[in-house]
Amino acid sequence: MKFPRNVRLLRSPFDVAPFAAVFFLLVIFLILAGLVYTPGVRIEPPRADGLPGTDQPTVAVAVDASGRFYFANQLVSEAQLEEDLRDAARKSREPLTLLIYADKAVTYDQLIHLTLLARDAGIPEALGATLPRVISPPAKP
């Protein structure tokens, strides 16, 4: 027995206009998303490979190129930073390690000063955070 066919096959030409409109809207959204401001402080740590890390708990402090300190994602003064580090060392069960996210432009004096500040607050060890080196692909013979 043959059943009647109620479905009509697509016999009209394929309309590209709706797909092009959606594509251009996506392009506009991607361009606008790239222009959106992302909050934060731009810090560019130095690049290095093979440096030792730590297995102890850490507390992080960032220092930007102008020498300002950031603790817990907040701009803090030197006195407030020392108080915050002292509180963190007091609350920790194990000895903490200070992890310093410093910009390349930060001077050695500022790093030593921050390390001594942390030592006075009860954090005996400090490590500098680095980015891994960019390895270029080997040259083709």
At residue 7, the pLDDT reads: 66
Per-residue pLDDT of the chain (141 residues; tens, 9 = 90+): 676 667 666 666 778 888 999 999 999 999 998 888 777 778 888 888 877 788 889 999 999 989 899 999 899 999 999 999 999 999 999 999 999 999 989 999 999 999 999 999 999 999 988 888 776 666 666
**Residue 100 belongs to a domain:** yes
Is 79 a domain residue? Answer: yes
In a domain, 27, yes or no: no
Distances (CA, A) of 72 to 54, 68, 69, 85: 20, 13, 10, 11
d(CA 45, CA 64): 10
Whichever domain contains 98, its CATH number is 3.30.420.270
Q: Kind of pairing, strands 74-76 and 69-71?
A: antiparallel
Count how many domains the chain has. 1
43 within some domain: no
Query: Which amino acid is it at 132?
Result: P
Domain that holds residue 106: 60-128
Query: In this structure, is residue 30 part of a structural domain?
Result: no
In a domain, 71, yes or no: yes
Tokens of 65: 């190129």
In-domain check, residue 133: no
Which position has the token pair 């390390």?
A: 115
- Say if 11 falls within a structural domain: no
